[in-house]
Amino acid sequence: MKKRAKKMICMAGICGVVLCVSGCGITSNFPGKEKKRAELKIGISVYDQYDTFLTEVISRLQSYAKEKEKDWNITITLEIQDANKSQLVQNDQNDEFIKRNFDVACINLVDRTDASTIIDKAKKADMPIIFFNRELVEEELERWDKLYYVGADAFKSGQIQGQILIEQCEKDFASVDRNGDGIIQYVMLEGEAGHQDSIVRSMYVIDEITKAGYKVEKLADEIANWSRSQAETKMTQFLSSYRNEIEVVFANNDDMALGAIDALKKELGTKREAKDNGTPWPYVLGIDGTEVGLEAVANGEMLGTVLNDGKGQAERMLDLAYSLVSGESLSEEIELIDGKYIRLPYQKVTAENVAKIQWNMQETIKE
Ligand code: GAL
């Protein structure tokens, strides 16, 4: 196999940082690793360091680790690496975590159908793995009892996105169905081909709306790989074919919704300008509740988004890693489904509650 790419790319400017040092030790509960220890060493590999949502997850992981060093009275080392969208690079990073005797690895798989190399090697070395955000198939997770997954309930995010539009339809159907034909014409911006969140979100949002009795017509859909710039290009193409016909833009995440908004501003002018010119914007809906996404809901450019609890995912990952190494049980509020899964709920964000959610986020950053 290719020699390991030595380049360790840092996210958020931090790479392999020992966050705090303290004296007291904890005892590992891993078979064959019983020894006094004063350190929890976690290797983290993310599929792409430029992904906005994951950048927020990692940043919360770093701040939570600082907090928990004090509470648990240990040193926590987080080594964060970017797999740069290559499964081979990620496999090599995992090898390095094993070689350097890390206690746990947190892996955000590049290719969710290709976890076997990582699993085989981790099992051989007895290093538990917490997969996160990109869910591998259940059979893979069953292959060893020290494999876990932390993420969200993907299908609920699609349903909640649908509910946001339904609320708007109930309030003022004419504002959605601008051509008055009784059918909602929409375009869809999808994440990655084969990603569980893309598939499930695209399906459940439409399912929810049609179940509520509304008729829909898909004008176009395109994959934009969670990327703002790719979504802008796709939306520009949609507008060249369906300029005045698009009533709703569903995006599988906030960055793509923002890319669609960038295109709308360039092609139609700002929301207000477009309205004055008699070509009002379509409603745009995202998912994630990133800082920039929330801002777009607050300023009215986005009708709503669905909070993907990155803070909760980061915290539960660290709690689980600590519990695995220390042998202490997880807090009772944390449900470990089938002994393997921790799933965080999504939350609806619209103009009504966005200020509160932004305030909560600010408090978290200050912590
Ligand atoms: C999704 C998230 C996207 C992107 C993707 C990467 O859960 O909504 O914005 O981060 O994960 O796997």
Ordered DSSP codes for 17-39: EE----S--EE--STT--SEE-E
Pocket around ligand 1 at a 6 A CB cut-off: 51, 53-54, 133-134, 191, 197, 226, 253, 287-288, 308
CA 62–ligand 1 middle distance (angstroms)? 19
Q: How far apart are CA 190 and CA 231, in angstroms?
A: 9
CA 321–ligand 1 middle distance (angstroms)? 22
pLDDT at 33 over 90: no
Question: Any idea what the Cα angle at residue 310 is, between residues 304 and 316, rounded to 5°?
Answer: 145
Q: What are phi and psi of 159, to 5 degrees?
A: -60, -45
pLDDT of residue 365: 58
Please choose from 155, 192, 197 the residue to mutate so as to test ligand 1's pocket, defined by most ligand atoms within 8 A of CB.
197
pLDDT at 16 over 50: no
Whether the Cβ atoms of residue 163 and residue 156 lie closer than 8 Å to each other: no
pLDDT at 266 over 50: yes
Express each pLDDT in 92-119 by its tens digit: 999 999 999 999 999 999 999 999 999 9
Encoded tokens for 326: 């220390």
CA 198–ligand 1 middle distance (angstroms)? 9
Output the pTM of the full model: 0.89
pLDDT of residue 366: 60
pLDDT at 166 over 50: yes
Whether the Cβ atoms of residue 62 and residue 12 lie closer than 8 Å to each other: yes
**What is the number of alpha carbons within 13 Å of residue 311 lying toward its C-beta?**
15
Q: How far apart are CA 253 and CA 226, in angstroms?
A: 6
State the chain's mean pLDDT as an integer. 90
Which atom in ligand 1 lies closest to the alpha carbon of residue 195?
12
pLDDT of residue 361: 78
pLDDT of residue 30: 40
pLDDT at 14 over 90: no
Express each pLDDT in 293-319 by its tens digit: 999 999 999 999 999 999 999 999 999
CA 135–ligand 1 middle distance (angstroms)? 11
